[in-house]
Amino acid sequence: MLDLKRQYEPLRIELLEAVGRVLETQHFILGEPVALFERAAAQHLGVAHAVGCSSGTDALWLALAAAGIGPGAAVVTTPFSFFASVSSILRAGAVPVLADIAPQTFDLDPAAAEAVINGPRGSAVRAILPVHLYGQCVNWTEVARLGGERNLKLIEDAAQAWGGEWQGVKAGALGDAAAFSFYPTKNLSAAGDAGMVTTNDVALAERLRMLRQHGMRRRYFHDEIGWNARLDSVQAAILNVKIKYVDGWNRARRSVAKRYHAFFHAAGLAECGPYPEHGVVLPHEVTGSRHAWHQYVIRTRRRDALRQFLSERGIGSEIYYPVPLHLQKAFEGLGYKEGDFPEAERAAREVLALPIFPELREAEQETVVRAIADFLS
């Protein structure tokens, strides 16, 4: 599914030297490598401020807390994402209100979000937290319109979307704030846990810096209850090396995606969708956007049997995500039930992520597509 050693090998010396330099200083918390990375990341994404932190999950919490989203507020988000998209809202003291996804992109459907905002729970809504799932930006034109009309904070979960764009604007520069994760499987990754919040708002950036360090502006003087959510120097040193290569890696991901498309079409398996019939529905790049190709996710009817078949042939695949968030035990208290979000539930039954990473070889992709063709015939 993912061979990180292929990325490490050519960077080995550069990475070891970068980590070595941090060890020589014996300064590990925040520090110069973090400040350097924050400047490089902000420039890369075309955003005024970047604030490094300990994980994508903490980035989501920090973004919400800094934007003043807490007790009494409701936040609209998607039921089809990683757990943290919803848990971070609860951590911030707010209430998640879910709206179904658009079946072609798997992202929050702005029309469904609007219906929720117009519904009985709508009056408490203070923010929308869309997720750019798999690297495809949510329909930001519609999200921004909705946010503007209702004066809502817009917080991107951009954990999977480093390098993604909506109408020429990078993910991370679209909303009031955006959360990134540098978890080892992400497009830009650390050697452990790391994350970042981006914003164009100087006051928000200052608040983020305070909250990531126990609400301190001045050492041992605590203005608010923040948390320890800092980025450490070793992770930042690694990210400073890798950020130089990430555009090239994303171009390689795009080539991998293009080849999958071509192979599936050549094999006569590609269907238009949004729902599969006898073949596979290929992932969709919305016109005017740039997919970051974090994942290459197909839809197919006999998904679990296909995954088993691939696994027996030594081919990795993954299900992101098998249980929609409204059906997670931990979120029982939200009061949702099966049937509430049919698109998310159907996606959870049909999606299968195929191997995609910059160093994936054409012959390996051929093997994957041939195996899927064998299964479907």
Q: Which residues bind ligand PLP (CB under 6 A)?
A: 55-57, 81-82, 84-85, 131, 157, 159-160, 181, 183, 193, 195
Q: How far is CA 155 from the centre of its chain?
A: 12
Distance CA 208, CA 291 (A): 28
Characterize 125-145 residue by residue with b for buried, 16 or more Cβ atoms within 10 angstroms of its Cβ, and e for exposed: bbbbbbbbbbbbbbbbebbbe
Q: Among residues 129, 171, 173, which one has the least CA distance to residue 152?
A: 129
Q: Determine the residue with CB nearest ligand PLP.
A: 56
* Nearest CB to ligand PLP, comparing residues 38 and 193: 193
Other CB atoms within 10 Å distance of the CB of residue 363: 7
Residue whose structure tokens are 């809502």: 152
Q: Which is nearer to ligand PLP, 87 or 365 (CB)?
A: 87
Q: Which is nearer to ligand PLP, 25 or 228 (CB)?
A: 228
Q: How far is the CB of 186 from ligand PLP (least distance, A)?
A: 6
Provide the strand spans (E) within the chain: 49-53, 74-77, 95-98, 125-129, 153-157, 165-166, 169-170, 177-181, 195-199, 216-218, 221-222, 270-271, 280-281, 289-290, 296-299, 351-354
Peptide bond into 322 cis (omega under 30): no
Q: How far is the CB of 182 from ligand PLP (least distance, A)?
A: 7
**Least gap, CB of 210 to ligand PLP (angstroms):** 21
Which of 171, 130, 169 has the alpha carbon at shortest distance from 147?
130
Give 159 or 292: the residue with its C-beta nearer to ligand PLP.
Answer: 159
Looking at the Cβ atoms of 160 and 233, the one nearer to ligand PLP is 160
Q: How many CB atoms lie within 10 A of CB 118?
A: 12
Q: How far is the CB of 223 from ligand PLP (least distance, A)?
A: 26
Taking the complex as a whole, the smallest distance from the CB of residue 306 to ligand PLP amounts, in Å, to 23
Smallest gap from Cβ 129 to ligand PLP, in A, equals 10
Minimum gap (Å) between residue 312 Cβ and ligand PLP: 28
Is the Cβ of residue 56 or residue 110 nearer to ligand PLP in the bound state?
Answer: 56
> Which of 92/306 has CB closer to ligand PLP?
92
d(CA 85, CA 89): 7
Q: Which two tokens stand for residue 346?
A: 């159907």
